[in-house]
Chain A
Amino acid sequence: MALAASAGCAALVLVIFLITAAFGNRVLEVAGLKADDPLNVVLFSSGVGFAILQLLLGIVGLAAGLTIRSVLALLVLLAIAGGRGWKSLFRLCRETARDLSGVFKSGVSKALGLVILFFLGLEGLLSTSPLTGSDAMHYHFTAPLLQIGRPEQPIFWLTHAFFIGLGHELIALGLVLGGDRLGLLLIFFGGCLTAVSLFPIARKWMPTERALAAALTFLMTPMVFWQISTAGSPDIWMGFYAVLAALAVGQAEGASTRRWLILASVYAGAGASIKYTGWVLPAVIILCALWITRSILWGAACSAAALATGVFPLLRNLLWTGDPFFPFLSRWMGRVAVNQFAWESIQADVHSHAFSAQPLHVLYFLAAITVRGADFGLGQYFGPAVLAFLPLLFFCNWRSRLVWAATALWVGMLLANALTTQMARFLLPAYPLALALALYGAAAASREGGAFVRFGCAATLALFGLFCLASDTLYAKDFLPVSVGLESKVAFLNRMAPDYQAATFVNSALTQRTGKALIFFRHSYYLRVPYEDGDPGESWMMNPAVLANPQSLLAFLKEQDIRWIVKSPEYPEQLANVFEECEKEGLFIPEEQTETETLTGSSRIYNMRMAVPITLMRVAN
Chain B
Amino acid sequence: MRTFQKLGAMLFLLWLLLINVLYYAQFRELAVSRLPWLAHVWR
- Quick check: is A613 within 8 A (CB to CB) of the other chain? no
Residue contact B34 to A474, C-beta cutoff 8 Å: yes
- Quick check: is B42 within 8 A (CB to CB) of the other chain? no
Contact A387 to B19, CB < 8 A, known contacts A373-B26, A450-B9, A452-B13: yes
Determine how close the nearest CB of chain B comes to the CB of A469; give it in whole angstroms.
14
Residue contact A372 to B34, C-beta cutoff 8 Å: no
Residue contact A374 to B26, C-beta cutoff 8 Å: yes
Contact A380 to B12, CB < 8 A, known contacts A605-B34, A607-B33: no
- Residues from 377 to 401 in A contacting B, C-beta threshold 8 Å: 380, 383-384, 387-388, 391-392
Residue contact A370 to B16, C-beta cutoff 8 Å: no
Residue contact A450 to B5, C-beta cutoff 8 Å: yes
Residues of B within 8 A of A456 (CB): 9, 12-13, 16
Residue contact A372 to B26, C-beta cutoff 8 Å: yes
Determine how close the nearest CB of chain A comes to the CB of B23; give it in whole angstroms.
4
Chain A: residues with Cβ within 8 Å of the partner, total of 27
Residues of A within 8 A of B33 (CB): 605-607
Residues of A within 8 A of B27 (CB): 380
- Quick check: is B22 within 8 A (CB to CB) of the other chain? yes
- Quick check: is B39 within 8 A (CB to CB) of the other chain? no
Residue contact A453 to B19, C-beta cutoff 8 Å: no
Partner of A463 from the list B5, B20, B30 (CB cut-off 8 Å) is B20
Contact A388 to B16, CB < 8 A, known contacts A452-B9, A474-B34: yes
A-B contact count (CB 8 A): 60
Determine how close the nearest CB of chain A comes to the CB of B2; give it in whole angstroms.
10
Residue contact A452 to B20, C-beta cutoff 8 Å: no
Residue contact A380 to B16, C-beta cutoff 8 Å: no
- Residues from 461 to 481 in A contacting B, C-beta threshold 8 Å: 463, 467, 474
Determine how close the nearest CB of chain B comes to the CB of A285; give it in whole angstroms.
31
- Quick check: is B24 within 8 A (CB to CB) of the other chain? yes
Determine how close the nearest CB of chain B comes to the CB of A603; give it in whole angstroms.
8
How far, in angstroms, from A291 to B26 measured CA to CA in the complex?
42
Residues of B within 8 A of A391 (CB): 12, 15
Residue contact A460 to B5, C-beta cutoff 8 Å: no
Residue contact B13 to A388, C-beta cutoff 8 Å: no
Contact A371 to B12, CB < 8 A, known contacts A605-B30, A606-B30, A606-B33: no
Interface string of A422-460 (1 = CB under 8 A from B): 000000000000000000000001000110110011011
Determine how close the nearest CB of chain A comes to the CB of B9; give it in whole angstroms.
4
Residue contact A449 to B9, C-beta cutoff 8 Å: yes
How far, in angstroms, from A606 to B26 measured CA to CA in the complex?
14
Determine how close the nearest CB of chain A comes to the CB of B37; give it in whole angstroms.
14
Partner of A370 from the list B10, B23, B30 (CB cut-off 8 Å) is B23
Determine how close the nearest CB of chain A comes to the CB of B26; give it in whole angstroms.
6
- Residues from 571 to 621 in A contacting B, C-beta threshold 8 Å: 605-607
Residues of A within 8 A of B30 (CB): 605-606
How far, in angstroms, from A455 to B35 measured CA to CA in the complex?
31
Residue contact B24 to A467, C-beta cutoff 8 Å: yes
Interface residues of B, Cβ cutoff 8 Å to A: 5-6, 8-10, 12-13, 15-16, 19-20, 22-24, 26-27, 30, 33-34
What would 17 A/B residue contacts be, using CB atoms closer than 8 Å? A370-B19, A384-B23, A388-B16, A391-B12, A391-B15, A392-B12, A449-B5, A449-B8, A449-B12, A450-B5, A452-B6, A452-B9, A456-B9, A456-B16, A460-B16, A463-B24, A605-B33
Q: Which 6 A-B pairs have the closest CB atoms?
A: A371-B22, A452-B9, A384-B23, A388-B19, A456-B16, A456-B13
